[in-house]
Amino acid sequence: MDIITGAQYSLVYNAFSFTFATMAATTIFLWLGRSQVGPAYKTALTISGLVCAIAAYHYYRIFESWQDAYELKDGVLVVTGIAFNDAYRYVDWLLTVPLLLIELILVMRLTQAETTSKCLRLGFAAALMIILGYPGEIASDNTTRAIWGTLSSIPFLYIVWELFKGLGESIERQPESVRKLVKDARLITFGSWGFYPIVYMIPYTNLGGGSVETAVQIGYTIADLIAKAGVGVLIYVIAVRKSAIEYPDIDHQRA
């Protein structure tokens, strides 16, 4: 473990705690929101809530692991020898990243055949991207990190291509009032996802060890908040608007 300052420790500690609360609250919001949408959109909200629930659990575990890794001795922060467990993050991503792509596809309400084939291809590519990134994340030397990072970027580029090329045509078929929102959801997904490989490269900067650890933890945490809670709420708004058009008899709350 790298030596970090007391201020860096507190910053990461508070960020993990805040993120646990935000993910848990968003889960409740998204699941309660199911009652405001038509039947075709309920699964999209169930899955969006599930993503935040899985993340809330893992942030709680990450938070505990962070507490176990350091202790204050005579006013000085020291490492306890219990390693901070980065695997929670990657296990979380392995579950949530395919689900995030599925929630985006579900809210578009494509044909059944299109939905199945896109969910399978994108879900598989997303899982592969995370699996290939992990050996690099835990590697102690930067060459190994670069090799696995490069391999992981191949499925990542495929996903970006599918989001823009494959889903592009389907977006043009969305009702006009939600077309821009669906495009925004795709753009925010792309923007926040693009942030992860940048954070992954922080160890190549000439920041000191403790600052690298802090910047990586804060960077991934911000990206997770946008990609999971932020996109989840956007999916909710799209689902409510589309339901108002497609199920005029349901009493929707305006969103």
Ligand X SMILES: *C/C=C(C)/C=C/C=C(C)/C=C/C1=C(C)CCCC1(C)C
Q: How far, in Å, CA of 185 to CA of 244, rounded? A: 19
What is the C-alpha separation between 194 and 54, in angstroms, rounded? 21
Told to check if 98 binds ligand X by CB under 6 A, we report no
Pick one of 9, 70, 193, 236: the residue that binds ligand X (CB under 6 A): 193
To 10 degrees, what angle do helices 231-246 and 39-69 make? 170
Among 45, 105, 107, 130, binds ligand X (CB under 6 A): 130
Interface residue with ligand X among 36, 48, 152, 217 (CB under 6 A) is: 152
Q: Candidates 38, 49, 133, 232: give the one binding ligand X (CB under 6 A).
A: 133
Nearer residue to ligand X within complex by CB, 213 or 224: 224
Among 100, 106, 163, 238, which residue interacts with ligand X (rule: CB under 6 A)? Answer: 100
- DSSP class per residue in 153-165: HHHHHHHHHIIII
Say if CB 119 and CB 110 are below 8 A apart.
Answer: no
- Among the listed residues 108, 227, 239, 244, the single contact to ligand X using CB under 6 A: 227
Contact 50, 99 (CB under 8 A): yes
Kindly indicate which of the ranges 10-18, 67-75, 195-203, 234-242 contains the residues binding ligand X, using the contact rule CB under 6 A.
195-203
Q: How far is the C-alpha of 237 from the C-alpha of 240, rounded, in Å?
A: 5
CB of 52 to ligand X, least distance (A): 10
CA–CA gap between residue 108 and residue 255 (Å, rounded): 17
* Three-state secondary structure string covering 85-100: CCHHHHHHHHHHHHHH
- Specify the residue, 63 or 156, whose C-beta has the smaller distance to ligand X: 156
Closer residue to ligand X (CB): 77 or 199 = 199
- Site residues (vs ligand X, CB under 6 A): 93, 96-97, 100, 129-130, 133, 149, 152-153, 156, 193, 196-197, 200, 224, 227-228
